[in-house]
Amino acid sequence: MQMQALTGGFTDTPREAAIAFRAMLEAMARPGRIFDIAGATPPMPLSIAAGTALLVLADGTTPVHLAGAHDAPGVRDWITFHTGAPLAARGEAALAVGDWAGLLPLDAYRIGVPEYPDRSATLIVEMAALTSSGARLTGPGIETEHRLSLPEIAAFRTNRALFPLGIDFFFTADARIAALPRTTHVEEG
């Protein structure tokens, strides 16, 4: 394990974890809205937002899949040290993190089962930037509509058609986060 894996976690864990968790709850409750989130200083290529989300969501019972360039020794060591989360293949992961291309194909992840739709994966999609433009989002938690720069539209429409099954998404860039739960309708902007 490299020394840098031992740093970059929360410095005031109860306070920072609570603030970050609240931002993530707000993001999931208000799909498409972008929130600031910070607390972690993870190794590259993890963004501050993705690292913070992993510290909040992952623990020793949460299988994590690292996709594409995010499957790097420094990231593996950092996640293992700070969360104790086991690393897993796509189909076994409760959480997955990577860029859009690295996370594909989406049908490799768990979508839950009718009796337990909550037994699905949550994907943390690293983006170059998050903007309130692009795809039109409607549904629960959205009064009229929100806009969000998504990597594509078709995959999210297909995911929505699986409801109540499906995958939930967080999008991260720098120290910003937005969410797209499976209940959200996605249309071309």
Amino acid at 125: V
Give the separation between CA 69 and CA 64, rounded to whole angstroms. Answer: 15
pLDDT along the chain (189 residues), means of 10: 74 94 98 97 96 98 98 96 97 98 97 96 98 97 96 97 97 98 95
107-151-174 Cα angle (round to 5)? 110
* Beta bridge partner(s), residue 122: 95, 168
SS3 118: strand
Give the separation between CA 61 and CA 129, rounded to whole angstroms. Answer: 31
Amino acid at 175: A
Q: What is the pLDDT of residue 3?
A: 62
Q: What is the pLDDT of residue 9?
A: 84
Domain 3-187 has CATH 3.30.70.20: no
Give the separation between CA 3 and CA 5, rounded to whole angstroms. Answer: 5
Q: What is the pLDDT of residue 2?
A: 65
* Axis crossing angle, helix 48-57 with helix 73-83, rounded to the nearest 10: 40
Q: How many CB atoms lie within 10 A of CB 164?
A: 12
Q: What is the pLDDT of residue 68?
A: 96
Q: What is the pLDDT of residue 7?
A: 82
SS3 50: helix
Q: What is the pLDDT of residue 145?
A: 96
